[in-house]
Amino acid sequence: MTKLLTTTEALELIKAGKIGRLGCVDQDGPYVVPINYLLDDGEIYSHALPGKKIDAMRTDPRVCLQVDHIHDDLHWSSAIAFGRFEEIQKPECRRVAMTKILSSFPKMTPVESMIVQDAAAPDSIIFKIVVERVTGVLEG
Amino acid sequence: MTKLLTTTEALELIKAGKIGRLGCVDQDGPYVVPINYLLDDGEIYSHALPGKKIDAMRTDPRVCLQVDHIHDDLHWSSAIAFGRFEEIQKPECRRVAMTKILSSFPKMTPVESMIVQDAAAPDSIIFKIVVERVTGVLEG
């Protein structure tokens, strides 16, 4: 049986997760990458090194984050948050966001850990998705 | 340590998986959904009921499929295939594709199973992604 999730249920699914698939669009079309994220107070926080997804989101801020919990082909749920990419640039705001992010997923790659020690380092891109709409489906 | 996968390695990762995240674009921006798929002879096969993703891909055939294998935050790999949506419409081609798909993921929802019994049913949309480019990253 397939049923649509309410906005509250979809947000709960996203809040319970830590890995989602970020969708964005560049000049060639859609681009999807797995990211660690944190849903806090209705906004989605994450960070990244410079690269294709950051270039894409800076050019076209329309993004989505898809999160699922898949038990098997007949029992799964998936939610998607649609919103806008917003880079967090003020040093104090960066520190606050990074502290939130680190409390949620302390494991980082060595490169990221080095950057995090100095949240002011220009290479460390901290961003949020300002969520505009959330939908979801449950199968099972 | 982060390393780029070769095309062959990225294709192997996709071939080994069964669930990927399909990215497409509609008038509102990017859209990402989990799908079952089969990589066969360099093309990606899947099926769907009518809905938002099919409408999006019929309008803008640029799509991607992202597949990952995540052990933990420090040990994961992810590959992405970029290509074009192509609906499989000829009855004989639909039967061949559906047989391949069913051999890979026999579990389907009751609604899908009913449709599959008659691959000619108009509601059953069978499609492939004609892969143009594959990339991937390994962390760990």
Task: Please write the tens of the pLDDT for every residue from A6-25.
Answer: 999 999 999 999 999 999 99
Residue B115: pLDDT over 60:
no
ipTM of model: 0.89
The beta-carbon neighbor of B74 closest among A28, A73, A107 is A107
Residues 68 through 107 of chain A touching chain B, CB cutoff 8 Å: 68, 70, 72-74, 76, 78, 80, 82, 105, 107
Contact B28 A82 (CB under 8 A): yes
* Contact (CB<8Å) B68/A108: no
- Smallest CA–CA distance, residue A53 to chain B, in Å, is 13
What is the per-residue pLDDT across A106-140, written as a single tens digit (0 to 9) for each? 665 545 555 555 555 557 899 999 999 999 999 98
Question: How high is the pLDDT of residue B1?
Answer: 84
- Which residue in A53, A52, A49, A117 sits closest to A85, CA to CA? A53
How far is A8 from A97, CA to CA, in rounded Å?
Answer: 24
Round to whole Å and give the CA distance between A84 and A62: 5
Alpha-carbon dihedral angle through residues B99, B105, B106, B112, given to the nearest 10 degrees: -80
Are the Cβ atoms of A29 and B68 closer than 8 angstroms?
no
Confidence of residue B112 (pLDDT cuts 50, 70, 90): low
Please give the share of chain B, as a percent, with pLDDT higher than 70: 88
- Single-letter code of the amino acid located at A46: S
- Read off the DSSP letter of residue B123: T
Instruction: Tell me the C-alpha distance between B44 and B132, whole Å.
Output: 11
